[in-house]
Structure 1
Amino acid sequence: MSVITTAQSPVKFNPFAPGFREDPYTTYKQLRQHNPIHNTLDMWVITKYQDIIQVLNSDAVSVNYIPQYVVQQKVGDIPGLVELGKKAIVFTDPPDHGRLRRLAGQAFSNTNINAHTAHVQQLITELVTPQIHSESFDFAQIAHQIPLYTLSHLLGVPQEYIQPIDEYIHRVRSILEPSLLTKMRIRRIEQDLQSCLAIFQEIIDYRKTHLGGDLLSKLIQARVGEDQLSDSELGIACVMTYVAGHETSKGLLTNGVLAFIQHPEQWQIFRQGKATAKQVINEILRFDPPLQQTVRLAVSDLQIGSETIHKGEKMLLCLASANRDEAQFANADTFDITRDAATQIAFGHGIHNCLGQMIARLEGQLLFTYLCEQVQEMRLATDNYRWHPEGFITRTLTNLPVTFTPADSTI
Structure 2
Amino acid sequence: MSNQQLTYSPFDPEVMADPYPVYRELRDHAPVYWSSQASCWVLSRYDDVSAALADPATYSSASGIFPTPPGVDMTDLFLPMLIMSDPPRHTQLRHLVSKAFTPRRIAGLETHIHTIVDDLLDQSPETGPWDFVSEFSGPLPAIVIADMLGVPREDRDRFRTWSTTLIQSNPVRGEFGAGLDAAAALYEYFSAFLADRRAHPQDDLMTALVQAEVDGEHLTEEELLGFCLLLLVAGHETTTNLLSNSAVILAQHPEDRRALADDPELVPAAVEELLRYDSPVQGLARTLTRQVDLHGQAMAAGDTVLLLFGSANRDDHAFPDADHFDINRRPERQVAFGRGIHFCLGASLARLEARIALRALLTRRRDWDVDIDSAVRLRSGPIRGFASLPIQ
Per the normalisation by structure 1, the TM-score is 0.87
Match of 1:362 in 2: 352
Aligned letter for 2:43?
A: I
Aligned letter for 1:131?
A: S
Tell which deviates more after alignment, 41-50 or 126-135: 126-135
Residue 227 of structure 1 aligns to a residue whose secondary structure is coil
Tell which deviates more after alignment, 213-222 or 12-21: 12-21
C-alpha contact 2:250 2:257 (8 A) present in aligned 1? yes
Where do residues 7-22 of structure 1 align in structure 2 (5 Å cutoff)? Answer: 9-15=4-10, 19-22=14-17
Match of 2:374 in 1: 384
Residue 308 of structure 1 aligns to a residue whose secondary structure is strand
Change (3 A) 1:344 1:129: same
Residue 298 of structure 2 aligns to a residue whose secondary structure is strand
C-alpha contact 1:64 1:91 (8 A) present in aligned 2? yes
Change (3 A) 1:305 1:197: same
Q: Provide the rounded CA distance (Å) in 2 between the counterparts of 1:258 and 1:382.
A: 8
1:149 corresponds to 2:147: no
- Compute the RMSD of aligned alpha carbons: 2.5
1:65 corresponds to 2:59: no
C-alpha contact 1:10 1:34 (8 A) present in aligned 2? no
1:24 corresponds to 2:19: yes
Change (3 A) 1:300 1:333: same
Q: How many residues align?
A: 387
1:318 corresponds to 2:308: yes
Change (3 A) 1:259 1:210: same
Q: 1:94 aligns with which of 81, 87, 96?
A: 87
Q: Provide the rounded CA distance (Å) in 1 between the counterparts of 2:348 and 2:204.
A: 15
Match of 2:132 in 1: 139
Q: Percent identity?
A: 27
C-alpha contact 1:66 1:178 (8 A) present in aligned 2? no
In structure 1, runs of 5+ residues without a counterpart are 404-411
Aligned letter for 2:391?
A: V
C-alpha contact 2:54 2:339 (8 A) present in aligned 1? yes
Match of 1:407 in 2: none
Q: 1:264 aligns with which of 241, 247, 254?
A: 254
C-alpha contact 2:40 2:306 (8 A) present in aligned 1? yes
Change (3 A) 1:334 1:220: same
What are the superposed Cα offsets for residues 105-138 of structure 1, whole Å, 9 maximum, x if unpaired? 1102222122122111111110113325131211
Change (3 A) 1:9 1:301: closer
Aligned letter for 2:54?
A: N
1:262, CA displacement in angstroms? Answer: 0.2
Match of 2:386 in 1: 397
Tell which deviates more after alignment, 328-337 or 306-315: 306-315
1:349 corresponds to 2:347: no
Tell which deviates more after alignment, 18-27 or 239-248: 18-27
Q: Provide the rounded CA distance (Å) in 1 between the counterparts of 2:155 and 2:3.
A: 56
Change (3 A) 1:213 1:262: same
Q: 1:123 aligns with which of 91, 116, 122?
A: 116
Residue 117 of structure 2 aligns to a residue whose secondary structure is helix
Tell which deviates more after alignment, 359-368 or 257-266: 359-368
Residue 19 of structure 1 aligns to a residue whose secondary structure is helix
Per the normalisation by structure 2, the TM-score is 0.91
Where do residues 11-410 of structure 1 align in structure 2 (5 Å cutoff)? Answer: 11-15=6-10, 19-41=14-36, 42-58=39-55, 59-66=57-64, 72-73=71-72, 82=76, 84-85=78-79, 87-141=80-134, 142-174=136-168, 177-180=170-173, 182=174, 185-273=175-263, 276-381=266-371, 383-388=373-378, 390-403=379-392
Deviating above 6 A after TM superposition, structure 1's stretches of 4 or more consecutive aligned residues are none
Q: Provide the rounded CA distance (Å) in 1 between the counterparts of 2:137 and 2:324.
A: 24
Aligned letter for 1:49?
A: Y
1:324, CA displacement in angstroms? Answer: 0.3
Q: Provide the rounded CA distance (Å) in 1 between the counterparts of 2:3 and 2:228.
A: 50
Q: Provide the rounded CA distance (Å) in 1 between the counterparts of 2:120 and 2:290.
A: 49
C-alpha contact 1:275 1:338 (8 A) present in aligned 2? no
Residue 272 of structure 2 aligns to a residue whose secondary structure is helix
Change (3 A) 1:260 1:38: same
Tell which deviates more after alignment, 115-124 or 270-279: 270-279
Q: Provide the rounded CA distance (Å) in 2 between the counterparts of 1:338 and 1:35.
A: 31
C-alpha contact 2:43 2:49 (8 A) present in aligned 1? yes
Change (3 A) 1:8 1:92: closer
Residue 155 of structure 2 aligns to a residue whose secondary structure is helix
